């Protein structure tokens, strides 16, 4: 019953989304899918590269550019200026926070101090594990893996697997294709 209802809603939602929603985004393609339960605050600043999936309950708050076939898992939050390459996988409940509140002046509430943002860059073919947090200014190199629950506050070199708080290199991804001699 619920399955059928979901099917009907999606059948109506998709064409409606493309007909009406399309005009509000900076750049999206017919092959991109944004769940009706995802929240995009600045649609005119969101760029999707095609075949992207934004799952339910994810929030995109900022100036965000995603490459081709990027998957954003449920409950994840992308905040600030973020660029992602192709084939990036973001697991559920990840926080990518490309910004900080100003805190230099004790006499002014931090809420009213100048925010800072350097931006976050995520390379191509990166896998970000569940519950990870990536802080402002970080660059994650191509092919890297961010372990579940990692707190990433420094750049991650390409093809490295990092984990922990603060995140450290656990190991490097094998360079050989399995089975190849």
Give the footprint of ligand COA on this chain (CB under 6 A).
91, 129-130, 145, 147-150, 161, 163-164, 170
Report the residue number, 76 or 99, with the smaller CB distance to ligand COA.
76
Nearest-approach distance from CB 94 to ligand COA, in angstroms = 9
Report the residue number, 57 or 100, with the smaller CB distance to ligand COA.
57
Nearest-approach distance from CB 90 to ligand COA, in angstroms = 8
CB 84 within 8 A of CB 66: yes
Among 153, 145, 151, 152, which Cα is nearest to 129's?
A: 145
Nearest-approach distance from CB 137 to ligand COA, in angstroms = 21
Report the residue number, 25 or 71, with the smaller CB distance to ligand COA.
71
User: Is 101 annotated in the active site?
Assistant: yes
Nearest-approach distance from CB 141 to ligand COA, in angstroms = 15
Write the DSSP symbol of residue 170: E
CB 72 within 8 A of CB 55: yes
| Residue 44 zone, left/alpha/beta (φ > 0; ψ -120 to 50; rest) | alpha
Report the residue number, 26 or 130, with the smaller CB distance to ligand COA.
130
What is the number of other CB atoms lying within 10 angstroms of the CB of residue 97? 19
* DSSP secondary structure, 95-129, as one string: EEEE-B---S-TTS-GGGSPPB---EEE-TT-EE-
The catalytically annotated residue of 3, 29, 101, 112 is 101
Among 140, 147, 97, which Cα is nearest to 122's?
A: 140
**Catalytic center residues:** 101
């Amino acid at each position: 019953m619920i399955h059928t209802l979901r099917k009907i809603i999606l059948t109506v939602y998709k064409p409606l989304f493309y007909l009406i929603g399309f005009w509000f985004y900076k750049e999206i393609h017919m092959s991109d899918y944004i769940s009706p339960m995802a929240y995009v605050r600045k649609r005119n600043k969101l760029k999707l590269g095609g075949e992207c999936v934004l799952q339910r309950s994810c929030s995109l708050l900022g100036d965000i550019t995603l490459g081709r076939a990027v998957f954003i898992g449920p409950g994840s939050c992308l905040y600030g200026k973020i660029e992602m390459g192709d084939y990036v996988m973001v697991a559920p409940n990840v926080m990518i926070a490309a910004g900080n509140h100003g805190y230099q002046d004790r006499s002014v509430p931090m809420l009213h101090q100048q925010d800072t943002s350097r931006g976050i860059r995520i390379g191509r073919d990166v896998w970000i594990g569940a519950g990870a947090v990536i802080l402002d200014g970080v660059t994650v190199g191509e092919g890297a893996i961010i372990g579940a629950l990692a707190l990433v506050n420094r750049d991650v070199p390409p093809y490295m697997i990092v984990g922990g708080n603060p995140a450290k290199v656990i190991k490097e991804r094998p360079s050989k294709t399995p089975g190849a001699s």
